[in-house]
Structure 1
């Protein structure tokens, strides 16, 4: 999976809301749909994008499909942000050292 698919999935506020709900409990398509003013087909499409981004997993349980948050899928997003976090830590440390040097 690429981080691109995860960022595409996270770009939509409805999908972010779905992830928040799935963080609390696993849900079927119907259970997710109850929380939105949209068709089950539209919810299913959002869930497909989340699955493509590896942010959720889907398992069959009888006739239902259970959607579960995949915390491991968020790792690629955190890793991407982690690079920039380290970048800014380095830059801010240099700025601090420069300011402290100038103050002496």
Structure 2
């Protein structure tokens, strides 16, 4: 998943698909890259489970799948306690430095 969202084009595609189910052609209109490149990016997103695809006649339509992000949020929430502790320590350090000046 991290590999899939590391690329800015793929992140933009996810934002584009957040509220819309779109065909490859419709997605390609939003990017200054070839349709083949768009298809490769969508393949990576699909492999990561971040988009789903379905056939609609002759075209393939893509839709954003938010479930992996919910799992990521749950995983990251464990680490928030450490971030909060470090930020509190930094705040204390800065305030102590300001008082001594």
- Give me the TM-score of the superposition, normalised by structure 1: 0.77
Match of 2:78 in 1: 83
State the 4+ residue runs in structure 1 displaced beyond 6 angstroms.
none
RCO higher in 1 or 2 (8 Å CA, sep ≥ 6)?
A: 1
User: How many residue pairs get matched?
Assistant: 93
Match of 1:29 in 2: 24
User: Which runs of 5 or more residues in structure 2 are unaligned?
Assistant: 94-101
CA RMSD of superposed structures (Å): 2.3
The alignment partner of 1:65 has SS state of strand
- Give me the TM-score of the superposition, normalised by structure 2: 0.79
The alignment partner of 1:73 has SS state of helix
User: Which runs of 5 or more residues in structure 1 are unaligned?
Assistant: 1-5, 100-104
State the distance in 2 between where 1:94 and 1:43 align. 43
